[in-house]
Chains A and B, each alone.
Chain A
Amino acid sequence: MNTPSRTSLTSAQRDVLEAKIGTAAKLYLDARASQLSPAVSRRLSEGRRLALVQMNARPAQSTVVNRGGTLAQSGGFTDRITDPTFWGAGLLVAMALALYGGMHWEQNKRAADAAEADMEILSSDVPMDVYFDKGFKTWLTSGDK
């Protein structure tokens, strides 16, 4: 059997031949795709119709003209309240705010406690130096008052 040598084709020639085979196959694939059953064709048409209805319905509810003549989006709120991403983002924002508020409150409380302690020390009859005297603490805990 006389078969052509594998090396008889250059890379470019092989590319051309592959492209020709691919193009020929496309012709048959197109022909096959045009032979779909009526049931499949109906469902595809129905799917396309629904997609187009959806597309045509969106602009009517999404754009309105404000009093000032500017365009604004409307109809988006109803979309958003059913969107899990919207609720997820809202939850994240709420958690961030709560965390910030908690930290702020804790910081204020510490500052208030420190200020109260300072005030008590400063307004006490006991001189400040006493608090740094080790013997004073021993005297306080020994019970020999």
Chain B
Amino acid sequence: MNAFLASSERRAFKQAMFAVRDEDAALDIVQDSMMKLTEKYSDKPANELPMLFTRIVQNTTLDFFRRSKVRNTWTTLLGDIGNRDGEDDDFDLLEALEVESGAQLAQSPQQALEQEQVMTAIEEVIEKLPARQREAFLLRYWEEHDTSETAKAMGCSEGSVKTHCSRAVHALAIALKKKGITL
């Protein structure tokens, strides 16, 4: 359990940060989630912990929104409007990105600087994504859940997950291309 939490807590914190955009609130969410996991599910097999923890973090984040009644309606709305831009609909992934066999992390100061810029750009895009797209993208690609697991966690169909992920990846690709960044 310790190893699992140690490997998951930072990612959980960042995901909570993307959602609530408040460091203290995100830390509270992660701590509450860890307490709930160890309180109720400590006897579960290790392979079930990632999905359980993901759902607990999601529910705790929702609880936070319910309590504070601070729904990020405007961000979601603006994000949706942005994604309905006609120009973006015609966008082709190949135009923006030339994904190599594996993105390389920094080896030199110059690369470190470029990596920092890419990380910042990616975070900015993810922050601006509509909540459902962000949730699908992070579950699918960052937490590496498959489409079926992501659909269960989000309470939607696998088709919806694919659509959300596709739109999120396109938004990411467009934003990075505008900044002249290739992954």
Name the interface residues of A33-52: CB closer than 8 Å to any CB of B.
33-34, 36, 40-41, 43-44, 46-48, 50-52
Whether A50 contacts B35 by the Cβ 8 Å rule is yes
Q: How far is the CB of A23 from chain B (nearest CB, A)?
A: 7
15 more A-B contacts (CB under 8 A) besides A5-B92, A30-B142, A33-B10?
Answer: A4-B95, A18-B93, A21-B97, A25-B141, A25-B183, A28-B119, A29-B11, A31-B119, A32-B119, A33-B13, A41-B10, A50-B35, A51-B34, A54-B39, A58-B39
The 3 A-B pairs at the shortest CB distance, nearest first, are namely A22-B141, A47-B31, A55-B38
- Which B residues are within 8 Å of any A CB, using their own CB? 1-2, 5-6, 9-11, 13-14, 23, 27, 30-31, 34-35, 37-39, 42, 90, 92-95, 97, 99, 102-103, 105, 115, 118-119, 122-123, 126, 137, 140-142, 144, 165-166, 169, 172-173, 183
B-side contacts of A24, CB under 8 Å: 99, 102-103, 183
Interface size bracket, A side: 35 or more
Whether B94 contacts A48 by the Cβ 8 Å rule is no
Q: How many A-B residue pairs have CB under 8 A?
A: 132
Q: Which of B42, B141, B144 contacts A55 (CB 8 A)?
A: B42
Q: Is A67 an interface residue (CB 8 A)?
A: no
| Contact A51/B38 with A17-B93, A33-B10 known, Cβ cut-off 8 Å | yes
Q: Is A8 an interface residue (CB 8 A)?
A: yes
- Which A residues are within 8 Å of any B CB, using their own CB? 3-6, 8-9, 14, 17-34, 36, 40-41, 43-44, 46-48, 50-52, 54-55, 58
Q: How far is the CA of A33 from the CA of B18 in the complex (A)?
A: 12
B-side contacts of A3, CB under 8 Å: 92, 95
Q: How far is the CA of A112 from the CA of B33 in the complex (A)?
A: 61
A-side contacts of B35, CB under 8 Å: 47, 50-51, 54
